[in-house]
Amino acid sequence: MKIEKILNNNVVTIIDEDGIEQVIMGKGIAFKKVLGDEIEEKNIEKIFKLDSKNASERFKSLLNETPMEYVEISRNIIKYAEKTLEKKFEDVIFLALTDHLNFAMKRIKKGLPIKNEMLWEIKRIYRKEYSIGIWSINYIKYKLGVDLPEDEAGFIALHIINATLGESMPNTMNITKLIQDILSIVKYHYKIDVDEEALSFHRFVTHLKFFAQRMFGKKQEVSGDDSLYEVVKDKYNEAYLCVKKIRDYIKITYDYELTSEEIVYLVLHVQRLTKDKSVASNM
């Protein structure tokens, strides 16, 4: 691999065999190097392959204007998140998270923190990702001596959620709001507080995440068999009445019509959730 461009002592670019530019990171990888020199593989810590030329240019620009310690912190947060969630992320998260961290540090130094309006929902619905956000702000304090507010843990969690779901930030925000609204409808219909540690709750939230992705992606589940719909409608009538409220809310708010199959799955999840022994009644 030959150096195409030197961005700084720790970052260079190369052109791979497909003619695509790659960004190579490694401590001191460009020290005493010139264009055309070979890169020693033992010095490579991370290779970023950004298929979009626009993304590649943004990434190079970001690396040029961002302190290297922020870049390293961002990389380590992603490594920790991948290990915790047992999932490999696309390289684009590095661009988004590094950009956010650089901007967040500038704001904090100027005394201009931003309130995370979805912090409560993130803590409730995305517990693992939120715990990664908390780990991240503690890690940043350890590395930089800067205290970031809990809101920033929520913002970092959102970037992890984006990477996990493969969604853009606006879509992730929409998905999170929809899930929270559906949980609220269930709560007020049954007048209960649900034990959020219960397995039924986590299964329901997981179902809602995939449902919301399909809904916003306009990908409906249609089987054409309504036999199960009639069965659950009669057998789990109270859960069905609750899901009717969810159906009406979604239709009014998002102009999306639930299919019979989607209603069936929601009824089954609501039934399990509300029959869980961990449910604490407010009545």
pLDDT, one tens digit per residue, over 75-114 is: 899 999 999 999 999 888 888 899 999 999 999 989 888 8
Which residue, among 182, 195, 187, 205, has the nearest Cα to 254 in the 3D structure? 182
- Residue pair 94/75 in contact (Cβ under 8 Å)? The answer is yes
Mean pLDDT for the stretch of residues 133-148 = 96
For position 140, what pLDDT does the model report? 97
Question: Are both 68-166 and 185-281 of the same fold?
Answer: yes
Which residue, among 130, 127, 117, 185, has the nearest Cα to 157 in the 3D structure? 130
- Residue pair 228/264 in contact (Cβ under 8 Å)? The answer is yes
Mean pLDDT for the stretch of residues 127-155 = 96
Mean pLDDT for the stretch of residues 153-160 = 96
For position 228, what pLDDT does the model report? 87
Q: Does the pLDDT of residue 161 top 90, yes or no?
A: yes
pLDDT, averaged across the chain: 87
Q: Give the CATH number of domain 5-50.
A: 2.30.24.10
For position 218, what pLDDT does the model report? 80
Confidence of residue 223 (pLDDT cuts 50, 70, 90): low
**DSSP H or E run through 259:** none
Which residue in this structure is represented by tokens 């209960």?
A: 192
For residue 251 the two structure tokens come to: 């239709």
Higher local confidence (pLDDT), 127 or 18: 127
Strands 5-8 and 11-15: antiparallel
Higher local confidence (pLDDT), 15 or 142: 142
**DSSP H or E run through 173:** helix 169-190
Which residue, among 106, 140, 108, 120, has the nearest Cα to 184 in the 3D structure? 120
Distance CA 41, CA 48 (A): 14
For residue 240 the two structure tokens come to: 């069905």
- Count other Cβ atoms within 10 Å, centred on residue 145: 7
Higher local confidence (pLDDT), 22 or 231: 231
Higher local confidence (pLDDT), 135 or 124: 135
**DSSP H or E run through 282:** none
Higher local confidence (pLDDT), 80 or 4: 80
Which residue in this structure is represented by tokens 């490594």?
A: 79
CA distances from 120 to 115, 125, 126, 185, 250 (A): 12, 9, 10, 17, 22
For position 278, what pLDDT does the model report? 42
Tens digit of pLDDT for each residue in 261-282?
Answer: 999 999 999 999 988 644 444 4
What ranges do the domains of the chain cover?
5-50, 68-166, 185-281
Q: Give the CATH number of domain 185-281.
A: 1.10.1790.10
Mean pLDDT for the stretch of residues 111-124 = 91
For residue 48 the two structure tokens come to: 């970023």
CATH of 68-166, one of 1.20.140.10, 1.10.1790.10, 3.10.50.40, 1.10.10.10: 1.10.1790.10
Distance CA 21, CA 57 (A): 10
Tens digit of pLDDT for each residue in 163-210?
Answer: 988 888 888 999 999 999 999 999 999 998 888 888 899 999 999 999
